[in-house]
């Protein structure tokens, strides 16, 4: 299962962690894993390309983590909102056995 934890500080995005593999299908054919990876990586790439926001991140097989030490601009928040919407739609369509979205206040 993929677990995506969205960290918020006083209601504002502080970062997120995505870890695990969906197990929906064999490696290379797992559309749940591919979709979650595309959304999370694209979110960070978009924040980097389209905003002045900064983040610290770590990526390895089945793991992506980032923190926003200075917070996010309006554009950065919109990009995170879009990522969370997409991931929530995947969870609603494929179910919690494959992907789980958690929001934690830090």
What's the first-to-final CA gap in the chain, in angstroms? 23
DSSP state letter for 54: -
Spatial separation of the C-alpha atoms in residues 79 and 50, rounded to whole Å? 10
Q: pLDDT for 1-25, tens place per residue?
A: 999 999 999 999 999 999 999 999 9
What is the phi/psi pair of residue 84, to 5°? -65, -40
Give the global pTM. 0.95
pLDDT tens digits for range 26-72: 988 999 999 999 999 999 999 999 999 999 999 999 999 999 999 99
Distance CA 18, CA 62 (A): 8
Residue 32 contacts residue 18 (beta carbons within 8 Å): no
Looking at residue 27, what is its pLDDT? Answer: 87
């Amino acid at each position: 299962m993929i677990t995506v934890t969205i960290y918020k500080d006083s209601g504002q995005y502080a970062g997120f962690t995505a870890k695990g593999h969906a197990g929906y299908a064999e490696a290379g054919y797992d559309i749940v894993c591919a979709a979650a990876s595309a959304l999370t990586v694209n979110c960070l790439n978009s924040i980097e390309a389209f905003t002045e926001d900064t983040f610290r991140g770590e990526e390895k097989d089945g793991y992506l983590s980032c923190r926003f030490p200075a917070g996010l601009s309006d554009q950065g928040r919109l990009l995170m909102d879009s990522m969370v919407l997409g991931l929530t739609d995947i969870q609603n369509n494929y179910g919690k056995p494959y992907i789980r979205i958690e929001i934690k206040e830090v």
